[in-house]
Amino acid sequence: MNTIESIQKIYIDRALADSPMVRNIEERAPDRIVREYVNDPREILDRYVKGGDLVEKEDLLVYKFPGKFLSTCPGSDGMVCCQYFVINFGLGCLFDCHYCYLQSFLNNPLMTLYGNLDDLFAQVDAHTRGKNFQFRIGTGEYTDSLALEPLTGLSTLLVDYFAQHPNATLELKTKSDNVDNLLELDHRGKTVVAWSINPPELVEAVEPGTASLERRLAAAKKVQEAGYRLAFHLDPLIYYESGRGWERGYHELIEQVFDTIDPNHVAWISTGSFRFTADLKEAIQARFPEDRLTREGESILGADGKHRYFKTIRQDMFRSIKQKIESVDPKLFLYLCMETRRMWEDVFDFVPDSGKNLDALFEERRQFIDGVLGVPPLAGSKSGAGR
Ligand code: SF4
């Protein structure tokens, strides 16, 4: 199992020696972690590719990324998209969730962080500032947003930037409980801290290295008390019959969340069923031979090349989750991630025409929470237009 204590070595691109991220690392990383400053990060990447491992979670490379930091969420062919943007500040993850798509996606096993955050912020500025639109920008696409936080203090830099941004909200998405760096920041309501959650029996079985559900919720309560908005992702929703079974497992999970968390702080909840490509199935079965994920709950191949549970199974699961969430608070905002128009119709009696419908719902919820928290309206606060 990999935790922050497993990290042995950090390679640092010499070109970034004076960057805020590297200064943070030098201040925070314990002495036992070896630091090696390198002139040619490409040579380090090549060395790990040649090593042939699928994943390498003990070493980390911080380097100057020359490419695009900001992109639209990749979504999936034929699926309804929620118009989400992602910034990538690194690739690869400390944790080792059995279902993680990175196992079949990465072309380099080494965990990397992009230390040139000034370029990242410049790209976000260029794309978003001056637009009459509230952007939601997430960071948990190719890594966990807070897994390495005790070493990097990266959240302090991101939250500060978004606190000053007039029309963009940051989502930090994690399965850790590394929130201490967030608590004293002047976030101005512009960061949503989100947890991906599953019933504890699944956390234990398929999410090695991550914080337990209790620890995630205790962390969520701390950030709620620090005035942050929260989000939860019941994704991937996993079908299982053993023990108490998926329905009781997820219902009791929702009860546990709202025994701890005030629904009025929850900006959104998403859910999406477990999905996998043929390559991911191969990687899961090779790395976790005992795993039941790709063997339980019959699945079907979708137009986007991903297998999902049969429609009737997904429908039952989504309806059941929706009803349970509505029983807690009908004003909570739930949406489906990477699902078909047909599934939206079946579960919600409503199909978003385009991302703009969903943008309006996100904006409505944001304004509702602003009202509850007494936050003054944002300048240019308007949804679904002007992009
Ligand atoms: S936390 Fe996310 S990125 Fe990390 S291993 Fe799990 S699914 Fe993958």
The rounded distance, in Å, linking the Cα atoms of 350 and 344 is 6
Please report, for the chain, the start and end positions of each structural domain, with discontinuous segments joined by +: 65-107+117-373
Cβ of 100 below 6 Å from ligand 1: yes
DSSP category for residue 33: S
Nearest to 264 by CA among 233, 228, 219, 235: 228
Nearest to 136 by CA among 76, 72, 185: 72
Please tell me the distance between residue 93's alpha carbon and the centre of ligand 1 in angstroms.
6
pTM: 0.93
* 27 Cβ neighbours under 8 A, 6+ residues apart: 153
Q: By alpha-carbon position, which residue is closest to atom 1 of ligand 1?
A: 144
Q: By alpha-carbon position, which residue is closest to atom 8 of ligand 1?
A: 100
Three-state SS at 319: helix
* 312 Cβ neighbours under 8 A, 6+ residues apart: none
Rg for the chain, CA atoms, rounded: 20
pLDDT digit string (tens) for the chain, length 387 residues: 778 889 999 999 999 999 999 999 999 999 999 999 999 999 999 999 888 777 778 999 999 999 999 988 666 556 666 668 999 999 999 999 999 999 988 888 899 999 999 999 999 999 999 888 889 999 978 999 999 999 999 999 999 999 999 999 999 999 999 999 999 999 999 999 999 999 999 999 999 999 999 999 999 999 999 999 999 999 999 999 999 999 999 999 999 999 999 999 999 999 999 999 999 999 999 999 998 898 877 889 988 889 999 999 999 999 999 999 999 999 999 999 888 888 999 999 988 876 667 888 888 999 999 888 887 665 544 443 333
The rounded distance, in Å, linking the Cα atoms of 120 and 210 is 27
**Considering the domain 65-107+117-373 in this protein, what is its CATH number?**
3.80.30.30
CA 177 to chain centre: 13
To test ligand 1's pocket by mutation, which of 94, 139, 143, 171 has the most ligand atoms within 8 angstroms of CB? 143
The rounded distance, in Å, linking the Cα atoms of 377 and 163 is 15
